Every structure is written in C-alpha cells, then in structure tokens.
Amino acid sequence: MTRPRALSRALLTLTLSGALLAPVAPSIAAATPASHASFVRAAATWPVLRAGARGTDVATVQDLLAATGRPVAADGVFGTATTRAVKGFQSARHLTPDGVVGGRTWAALAVTLRSGAKGRAVRALQRQLVQEGHRLDRDGTFGPATGDALRAAQRGHRLPADGVAGPRTWAALLATATPGRPSGDVSALRGRIVATARGQLGVSEPSGCRTYLKDCAHTAWCAAFASWTWRKAGVPDSSVPKTLVARAVGLWGQRNGLFHSAHPKPGDIAVWGEPADRTGGHVGIVVAVHADGRIDTVDGNYGDKVTLRKNIDPRTARTRSHRISGYVSPRGA
C-alpha cells in the first residue's frame, strides 16, 4: 500500500530530526545559557587567580581547564603551563586572553554537576569538598559518597540540600572576601599565607601535624600551626610568634603593635580569648572576609586536624567558651 505523500514527508521529518521521537538529554557537564548567567553573577566573589598563585583553588581551576580538553596537571601551582592554558581557553570563549582567572573566566569554566557525572570537573568539585573537611576520594566520579558530601556542604552553607552543584553551591565553596578580589590580594604575602593554610587542609593527628609541632598528638597545636603557616609563607622568623599558647599569640601581637580588635584581613591570625600569657583560647588563620563581616578561617587542631571553618560571625562565635578578641597581622602586610 502506498502511504499518502504528506504522511511520508512527516515520517521522514521525524526520522531525520530524532528530536520528536527521542529527546536528547543535555550533557550533565553543560551549562545552559540561563545557568551561565547565574554563574556570572555568582563568580563575582570567587578568588582572582593569576601567575604565581598556589593552593587548592588553583588546582580546581586546573581540573576545570582539563575538563575542557586542555592538558593541565592539577599540581596547585599557577605556572607557565597553566597561564598558557587559561589564555587558550579565554581566546576560545571570546574572553580577554590575559591569563587571569577572574569572574567571567570562572563562570565560563564552571559547570553544573549532579549524580552520574564523571571527569575532571567532578574532581574539581571533590577537591573543594575535601578542602572543607569532607572525607572523599577525588576519583572524578559523582557517586553516592560525593552526593552525601555535597548535601552536607550545602546544609552547612544554608543552601537547599539537593545534591546538585550549581552556581550557588560553587559560590559557597569558592567565595572569598570582596567581589573581584582574591583572598589575600591585600599583599602578595597575605596571599601566600592564605594559600599555605589552605594547602594543609585535612592534615591530622597523630603523624601529619608533626610538621608544625613534634609532639602534636599530646599538645594543643593551633598556635604552632598558625606560626608555621606564617613562616612557611615567608614571614621573617623574627616576626613570627613563638608560643604554643593561643592567647599568648594575641599578647605577642599587642606587644609588637600588630594586634587589632576589628577589621580582619586574609592572612591575619584570629585570636579567641583575651590576650594573656595563660592557657586556653584558640587561634586560626583568616582566609576570607565576607561583605557581611563574617570570616572564614583555617584552624590547626580543630577536630584534631587542619579544618576550614566558614561564615564565622566574629561578634558571636565561640570556641571553648572564648569569643574572638581580635587579630594579629603580619608585619608590613
């Protein structure tokens, strides 16, 4: 039997297009134009990274670049190869090829991820989750463990715990102090302090913390970690507090004219407890200061490991019943 010509043309159209017969699901890793616009807005507070930067955020950029097909090793060092890859990516996306990862470059790199996704972009997400203290293998597979860690992180940031890494979740994981500025952009030294502190996240007792204090398993080592971070980042040894007593770090800052009760900056040491040559209290490295005054810190000996603490309100936050009394700044920074 001969089909009517109109019906034959309709069947041919359906067969060739496929869209009406079997809608093609969008790629998990692809951001739609609407979501890209959301990423552009969210990325305004993400760290600005350029040649010379180091740390987890750099490794995250490297993973996201690799997800676009560029051969970049995620070593956490923003060197020549990373600069070249960033410029190539920017040119391909019609962005200014300056080699600097700012808001628009972040927005073009970031993708929405959900269960079932695989690849280097997933590894970038896992890297940020591990940095927050979640136990997770960076295997590049978005399985149940990654979903659980992501939902826990979302709850911690007061976001809907939907297990989908979209613009708001990436913003919470990557957000820094001031829109358009990196954590620690006040000076190169402050930037190194922040990167050094972040690079130690997850180091724990009993063996890892011996880098900061030989007998760390039997001694509170938050002050030792803070001093080690400053020294490792390039603060002269003569300008580093040499005490294992947290509150004494504040006293050292007072005696050297480096202690202030407000207006923290990335790279400062936050002091819980009034400055005194007495036991008790706590210290941590400020790694971000948000527009609402809240801060993020990286603390040694917090939960027996180096931990990232986010969205701390300096007016009300307590550690072991102590409130933040102030901050010690690195000399000259």
pLDDT of residue 332: 78
Where residue 43 falls among pLDDT bands split at 50, 70, 90? low
158 and 206 share a domain? no
Domain range for 42: 33-174
Highest mean pLDDT among 44-48, 209-213, 235-239, 277-281: 235-239
For residues 315 and 285, membership in a common domain is answered with: yes
Q: End-to-end distance of the chain based on CA atoms, in angstroms?
A: 87
The answer to whether residues 148 and 275 belong to one domain is no
- Between CA 10 and CA 15 the distance in angstroms is 9
pLDDT: which is higher, 94 or 177: 94
87 and 63 inside one domain:
yes
Print burial letters for 186-218: b (CB count within 10 Å at least 16), e (below 16). Answer: beebbbbbbbbbbbbbbbeeeeebeebbeebee
Do 242 and 201 sit in the same domain of this protein?
A: yes
Q: Is residue 27 part of a domain?
A: no
Q: Please check whether residue 210 is in contact with residue 219, taking contact to mean a CB–CB distance below 8 angstroms.
A: no
Residue 23 belongs to a domain: no
What does the pLDDT look like over 47-75, one tens digit per residue? 788 888 877 788 899 999 999 999 899 88
Our measurement of the distance from residue 13's CA atom to the centroid of its chain's CA atoms, rounded to an integer in Å, reads 49
* In the predicted structure, residue 320 carries a pLDDT above the cut 80: no
Is 261 inside any structural domain? yes
Q: Is residue 37 part of a domain?
A: yes
Q: Are residues 235 and 295 in the same domain?
A: yes
Q: Are residues 120 and 81 in the same domain?
A: yes
Residue 76: per-residue pLDDT: 84
3-class secondary-structure state, position 40: helix
Tell me what the mean pLDDT of segment 311-316 comes to: 89
59: in domain: yes
**310 shares a domain with 202:** yes
Does the pLDDT of residue 17 top 50, yes or no?
no
Q: Last residue of a domain, which of 133, 152, 174?
A: 174
- Residues 162, 181 contacting (CB under 8 angstroms): no
Q: Which helix (H) or strand (E) holds 318?
A: strand 318-319
Same domain assignment for residues 218 and 89: no
Q: Is the pLDDT of residue 42 over 80?
A: no
For residue 324, give the CATH number of its domain.
Answer: 3.90.1720.10
Within-domain flag for 8? no
Whole-number pLDDT of residue 30: 38
CATH for 118: 1.10.101.10
The set of residues, in sequence order, having a beta carbon less than 8 Å from that of 236 and lying 6+ positions away, is: 331
Give the model's pLDDT for residue 35: 56
Rounded average pLDDT over 34-58: 71
Alpha helix ranges (H) inside the chain: 5-17, 33-42, 56-67, 80-92, 103-109, 120-131, 144-156, 167-174, 188-198, 222-233, 246-255
Q: What is the mean pLDDT of the chain?
A: 81
Both 236 and 152 in a single domain?
Answer: no
Our count of domains for the chain comes to 2
275-303: per-residue pLDDT in tens?
A: 988 888 999 999 888 777 889 999 999 98
Weakest mean pLDDT among 111-115, 119-123, 213-217, 261-265: 213-217
Are residues 151 and 218 both part of a single domain? no
pTM exceeds 0.85, yes or no? no
Whether the predicted pLDDT of 9 surpasses 60: no
Confidence of residue 14 (pLDDT cuts 50, 70, 90): very low
Distances (CA, A) of 178 to 22, 42, 46: 46, 12, 9
Q: Which residue, of 174, 206, 238, is where some domain finishes?
A: 174
The 10 Å Cβ neighbour count of residue 303 is 11
Query: What integer pLDDT is reported at residue 186 of this predicted model?
Result: 42
The reply to whether 250 falls in a domain is yes
* Range in 31-40, 89-98, 313-322 the model is least confident about: 31-40
Burial status of residue 277 (CB atoms within 10 A of its CB: 0-12, 13-18, 19 or more):
exposed
At 122 the pLDDT is 94
Examine the domain organization and report whether 230 and 147 are in the same domain.
Answer: no
Beta-bridged to residue 328, according to DSSP, are 259, 269
Q: What is the dihedral of CA 317, 208, 268, 231, to 10 degrees?
A: 160
Q: Which residue did the predictor score with more confidence, 228 or 192?
A: 228
Q: Residue 167 above 50 pLDDT?
A: yes
The answer on pLDDT for 79 being more than 60 is yes
Domain closes at, from 125, 145, 174: 174
Task: Please report which helix (H) or strand (E) contains residue 286, including its range.
Answer: strand 282-289
Is residue 77 situated within a structural domain?
yes
